[in-house]
Amino acid sequence: MIRHASMNFVGRFSLFALVIVCTLCARLSANGNNASRYQNGVRNSPDRPLNPKQLSSLLENLRQKSGFREMHFDPQGFLRLGDRSKIDGGSAAARELLIAAVDRAKAIDLENHNRTSQIAFARLAMPVSFTSRESGAQVEVYPVQIDFSDFAHLRGDKKAIEAFDIGFVVLHELGHAALGLRDALVNGQEPGECEEFINQIRRELGVPERQSYAAHTFTRRNLHSQPPSRQAELLFINSLVGGNKNKSFSLNWDAGQVGAVRPGEYKPQTIPQRQQASLAP
């Protein structure tokens, strides 16, 4: 009887595993045979899409930073820049980065990972390869994973919060995906080449510049009735504030709830300088 029960358990487990495998295969097959899956560019992920409110917030933010007045997401979810001659302010470096992300031969998905403990604000994950069984078409998709809920935890100077909003964070990840720029490679106390590029955008917009890639973490002692909390802090400096040179602004959040900003596990391939020049828009 024990052996019979064991066999029934194994049978049920095997059937359950088979259902999961078939479901995953069907999903991959559906995605793999979707023609739009093999288009390059930046788009709202079909698997983990940003909701309309998130998409609208990000779009408006990127419009302000780039000045592209006609930028929009098309019905298939792809980011389109519209008439690129119609510019209203914005940063030339931001426009360069968005043009590279949209035009170059890479597929970048914007994924919704709200309230995910493994992600602090956003990150570029390992690329995922898709192959169509019908046409043989192949594409390598770079997922930009975004946790919108983390931004509600930001505290500090208004200018520092402005310098670390959803637009700047997504542009940072696009710098990895589209240009192959790296984060700080030594100890995270320097900005790194990717954040230096984003700091150029900040300068062009008159926003304070980030001073380090990694956040400084420390323990804050709370009231006796509350346990201590682990805090994270980033420092921003603006040398363009009237006669006040190098005025600093701090940004803080609860690292226990959000996480700390530190170098990620995935390192994008650096595009050689000559190749960057040949690909420049």
Residue 17 in domain: no
The pLDDT value given to residue 261? 63
- Please state the pTM of the whole predicted model: 0.78
Number of domains in the chain: 1
Tokens 């998905």 belong to which residue? 109
Can you give the residue range of the structural domain that contains 233?
A: 35-279
Residue 178 in domain: yes
The pLDDT value given to residue 241? 52
Residue 263 in domain: yes
Residue 57 in domain: yes
Cβ atoms of 160 and 253 within 8 Å: the answer is no
The pLDDT value given to residue 130? 83
Question: Rounded CA gap, 202 and 198, in Å?
Answer: 6
Measured in whole angstroms, how far is the alpha carbon of residue 84 from the centre of its chain?
24
Residue 2 in domain: no
Cβ atoms of 189 and 280 within 8 Å: the answer is no
Amino acid occupying residue 190: E
Question: Rounded CA gap, 49 and 180, in Å?
Answer: 24
The pLDDT value given to residue 68? 97
Residue 67 in domain: yes
Q: Which of 127, 126, 110 is nearest to 170 (CA)?
A: 110
SS3 235: strand
The pLDDT value given to residue 188? 61
Residue 23 in domain: no
Task: Give me the tens of pLDDT residue by residue for the chain, a chain 281 residues long.
Answer: 444 444 444 444 443 443 333 334 333 433 444 666 778 999 999 999 999 999 999 999 999 999 999 999 999 999 999 999 999 999 999 999 999 999 988 899 999 999 887 898 999 999 988 887 777 777 889 999 999 999 999 999 999 999 999 999 999 999 999 999 998 776 667 898 999 999 999 999 999 999 999 888 888 666 666 677 788 999 999 866 555 568 899 999 988 888 766 555 445 554 433 233 222 22
Residue 5 in domain: no
The pLDDT value given to residue 190? 87
